[in-house]
Amino acid sequence: MKKYDIPFNKPYLSKNEMLYMLEAVKLGHISGDGTFTKKCHQFFEQKYNFKKCLLTTSCTDALEMCAILLDIKQGDEVIAPSYTFVSTVNAFVLRGAKIVFVDSEKNTPNIDVASIENLITSKTKAIIVVHYAGIACDMDEVMQIANKHNLYVVEDAAQAIDSYFITENQKKPLGSIGHLSAFSFHETKNIISGEGGMLVINDEKFIKRAEIIREKGTNRSAFFRGEVDKYGWADVGSSFLPSDIIAGFLYAQLENLEDIQKRRKEIWENYYKGLKILEEQNKILLPKIPHYATNNAHMFYILCKDLMQRSDLIAYLKEKNILSVFHYLSLHSSPYYHEKHDGRDLPLCDKYADTLLRLPFYYELTTTQQNFVIDEIKKFFLQKN
């Protein structure tokens, strides 16, 4: 694989990742739910007021736990955006659900909340929202619809750490609003552990069962707390919990959250200011942040005119040793699901699939490197003229 002078992503490392991983080994507990796992749980529960956090080996695993907790069965319907990663819906397909896909919004790749209610049937069990690029969906509207129709809401907050939904009276952390939420700590995210994720439980009725599902279907967690004198097989489940070595790596990242976020926001703002002239010239579109959302600087993307222009720009930047990448393909038209989809056109979702381009974005990206990327994008459009 070619190494680029300016790659798309470069994992952030503080000084303590290796130290804490070694400490986990020395403490003699390198399986799940050790010292550093508990530190991570405590960090999230205290900082973001999540009712219960459980680290998982991936966001995919957290979503699969959501599907089990909601008792998704054959014949159930789940409403979800089409412009998302396959894990968002695959977790529910594995339990037998039919996915009812929703188009994106005009101004963001997020789910078009205004289209949700018309898609609800007697078979609908849950609504899944994805906070794309860490930008909030309109969660007041989503929760009103869900409450009206007695549905569960799952927040796929894979990209949304340290981002908020703004109401008149307060800022609500993303992941704290739906009944269940899932986060990712994949190496491309703001806070990482290589692979890793977290289930957030905001409805207390799910907490006890979630612990059992996560521990292979046993009540092992209750046993180690001294709540039962022995543990056994209590429910379905799998091995969803990560090693405490991974949690040690993650905790070192969490200690540096404020510094990471500060730098990422600087990079985001520099891209926005540097490329604004191209939007004013109608060459590209830049990200839009709704009034009810904060920006956690998870990524910076531009929207090209069409697929051909985006492909040309990717190729041009590669020639300059800059790696830029597109993102999701529409799930409703994917090879696996297009025959199962109900045939509705989802044009905005397809537009993002064809035109959205993500630019290099990582903590160590220098201002000089970033300005080089901005200048080369400007040169590309100047040549097109």
DSSP letter for each residue of 209-231: HHHHHHBTTB-HHHHHTTSSSS-
pLDDT for the residue 169: 84
pLDDT for the residue 209: 96
Is 62 in the same domain as 193?
A: yes
Q: Are 111 and 130 in contact (CB under 8 A)?
A: yes
CA distance 19 to 21: 6
- Beta strand segments in the chain, E: 52-56, 77-81, 98-102, 124-130, 152-156, 164-166, 171-173, 180-184, 197-201, 301-303, 356-358
Q: Are 178 and 202 in contact (CB under 8 A)?
A: yes
Is 318 in the same domain as 210?
A: no
Residue 22 covered by a domain: yes
Query: Which residue, 235, 254, 273, sits at the end of a domain?
Result: 254
Residue 312 covered by a domain: yes
pLDDT for the residue 219: 84
Instruction: Tell me which residue range forms the domain holding 124.
Output: 17-254
Residue 3 covered by a domain: no
Is 169 in the same domain as 68?
A: yes
pLDDT tens for 274-311 read 999 999 999 999 999 999 999 999 999 999 999 999 99
Is 197 in the same domain as 158?
A: yes
| Tokens describing residue 317 | 């930047």
Closest CA to 59 of 142, 131, 140: 131
How far is the first Cα of the chain from the last one, in angstroms, to the nearest whole number? 33
Closest CA to 40 of 258, 238, 203, 246: 246
Is 45 in the same domain as 194?
A: yes
Cα–Cα distances (Å) from 137 to 81, 209, 292, in that order, read: 11, 28, 8
Residue 326 covered by a domain: yes
Which positions of the chain have pLDDT values less than 70?
1, 224, 230, 385
CATH code of the domain in which 333 resides? 3.90.1150.10
Is 139 in the same domain as 225?
A: yes
CA distance 21 to 248: 5
pLDDT for the residue 3: 85
pLDDT for the residue 5: 95
Q: How many distinct structural domains can be found in the chain?
A: 2
Residue 343 covered by a domain: yes
Residue 336 covered by a domain: yes
CA distance 33 to 35: 7
Residue with tokens 């992941």: 175
CATH code of the domain in which 116 resides? 3.40.640.10
| Tokens describing residue 316 | 């041009």
pLDDT for the residue 2: 79
CA distance 379 to 384: 9
Is 230 in the same domain as 245?
A: yes
> In angstroms, how far is CA 335 from the centroid of its own chain?
23
pLDDT for the residue 97: 98
- Helix or strand holding residue 149 (H, E): helix 139-149
pLDDT for the residue 316: 98
Is 58 in the same domain as 189?
A: yes
Residue 181 covered by a domain: yes
CA distance 327 to 346: 17
Query: Which residue, 191, 220, 254, sits at the end of a domain?
Result: 254
pLDDT for the residue 228: 72
